[in-house]
Amino acid sequence: MSDNPVQLIDPVRHGDARGWFTEYYTERRFAERGITCRFVQDNHSLSVPALILRGLHFQTPPHGQDKLVRCIRGRILDVAVDVRRGSPTYGNWVAAELSAENGRQLFVPIGFAHAFLTLEDNCEVTYKVSDYYAPDCDGGIRWDSVGIDWPLPAGASPELSAKDAKLPTLAEFDSPFPYDGRPLAPLA
């Protein structure tokens, strides 16, 4: 079981000359890691050009969402930011490159803002969530208000949705998420 609330998961791939097979989600194996939420919805996005930034998003209580994110085509930098009120790691972030090639997944629990930046064209991202979309609980913080070291070319800015461009900064955000006693740690 992991003490880190955000977890990088490397599913085992069984391969031969034909290709490979993996179990990307098995309830029993995830429970052994301390991930016991029930996933109720799968989402899938396509970002055509590189340098699309989606986030930093979350759903507030009572419809907070745990997320299990994976990239099934292309490469992304996937980021989670601690936004739990009273957390000693509030505002800290972790990031991992997820790609179709490496098969990695990132588990982002309730109380963390989530974003990803596409690192190449035609990225497809799928993610499981533990609650249904609730527009009245939809929220986020500005991508550039946390100090994340985004891998952008010199002078480049990411492409944002109109909604994401208007999000409040981390300093303006009044968090409704409680701290659960587990500080954010570097990804293993």
Active site members: 57, 127
Task: State the Cα–Cα distance between residues 128 and 44, nearest whole angstrom.
Answer: 9
Question: In sequence order, which residues have a C-beta less than 8 Å from that of residue 118 and are 6 or more positions away?
Answer: 47, 49, 50, 51, 52, 53, 74, 75, 76
Nearest to 127 by CA among 37, 43, 8: 43
CB 126 within 8 A of CB 105: no
Question: In sequence order, which residues have a C-beta less than 8 Å from that of residue 162 and are 6 or more positions away?
Answer: none
Please provide residue 131's backbone torsions phi and psi, each rounded to the nearest 5 degrees: -145, 155
Tokens representing residue 35 in the block: 């991930």
CB 59 within 8 A of CB 114: no
